[in-house]
């Protein structure tokens, strides 16, 4: 796994809880909005819908969730990117069997130096699988980072109500790379 870096307990526990509460606690104000997405193999009618929320894309902030991840001690500060390309949250609900969504690259137009990090928002029996066959299990507050041009796939889960991840596509800052 030389190109795949796994960091457990990536964020400080109370800050991570603040993020997950903001995104996943439906009984609070403001309510976090999820949007139906057919990005997961729409041509194959695999029987489930992905829910998504774009935080940053198209060169600008797209969501108020940015205020939760930016600033002193926040996720953005910890990643210390040179530039952000996209930040997107994905949520798949529980299914009777684990299904892979299909190998892909998150941002095909990103430069070769770009990386993708996935922050797992909850623990479940889903995983991220890479073109090499390697798998990274979904463990809450785990960050996995890999070259943006590395093919990978996510999955559904069967043991929790949902599988939620935050995908962050960015160029590392050279002073911290």
Structure confidence by residue, pLDDT tens digits, 53-70: 999 999 999 999 999 999
Helix (H, G, I), strand (E, B) or coil at 134: coil
- The arithmetic mean of pLDDT across residues 145-162, rounded, is 96
Element (H, E) at 116: strand 114-120
Comparing 52-61, 157-166, 167-176, the range with the smallest average pLDDT is 167-176
Name the pTM for this structure.
0.93
Tell me the sheet residues that pair with 170: 84, 115
**Predicted confidence (pLDDT) at residue 38 exceeds the cutoff of 70:** no
| Helical H segments across the chain, by residue range | 13-24, 66-69, 75-79
**Predicted confidence (pLDDT) at residue 177 exceeds the cutoff of 70:** no
Comparing 22-26, 51-55, 146-150, the range with the smallest average pLDDT is 22-26
Verify cis geometry, omega within 30 degrees of 0, for the bond prior to 30.
Answer: yes
Element (H, E) at 61: strand 60-61
Confidence of residue 47 (pLDDT cuts 50, 70, 90): low
- The arithmetic mean of pLDDT across residues 68-91, rounded, is 94
- The arithmetic mean of pLDDT across residues 39-48, rounded, is 56
Q: Which CATH class is domain 5-172?
A: mainly beta
> For the chain, what are the domain ranges?
5-172
Site of tokens 């403001």: 30
Give the chain's mean pLDDT: 91
pLDDT at 71: 85
Q: pLDDT tens, 112-122? A: 999 999 999 99
d(CA 162, CA 158): 8
Contact 118, 144 (CB under 8 A): yes
């Amino acid at each position: 796994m030389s190109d795949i870096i796994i960091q457990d307990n990536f964020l400080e526990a109370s800050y991570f809880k603040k993020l997950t509460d903001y995104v996943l606690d439906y009984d609070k104000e403001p309510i976090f909005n999820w949007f139906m997405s057919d990005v997961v193999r729409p041509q194959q009618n695999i029987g489930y819908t992905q829910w998504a929320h774009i935080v940053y894309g198209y060169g600008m902030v797209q969501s108020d969730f940015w205020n939760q991840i930016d600033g002193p001690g926040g996720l953005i500060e910890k990643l210390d990117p040179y530039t952000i390309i996209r930040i997107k949250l994905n949520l798949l609900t529980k299914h009777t069997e684990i299904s892979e969504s299909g190998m892909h690259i998150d941002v095909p137009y990103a430069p070769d130096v770009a990386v993708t990090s996935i922050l797992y928002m909850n623990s479940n029996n889903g995983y991220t699988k890479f073109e090499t066959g390697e798998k990274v299990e979904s463990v809450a507050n785990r960050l996995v980072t890999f070259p943006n041009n590395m093919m990978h796939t996510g999955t559904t889960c069967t043991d929790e109500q949902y599988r939620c991840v935050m995908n962050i596509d960015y160029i590392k800052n050279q002073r911290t790379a």
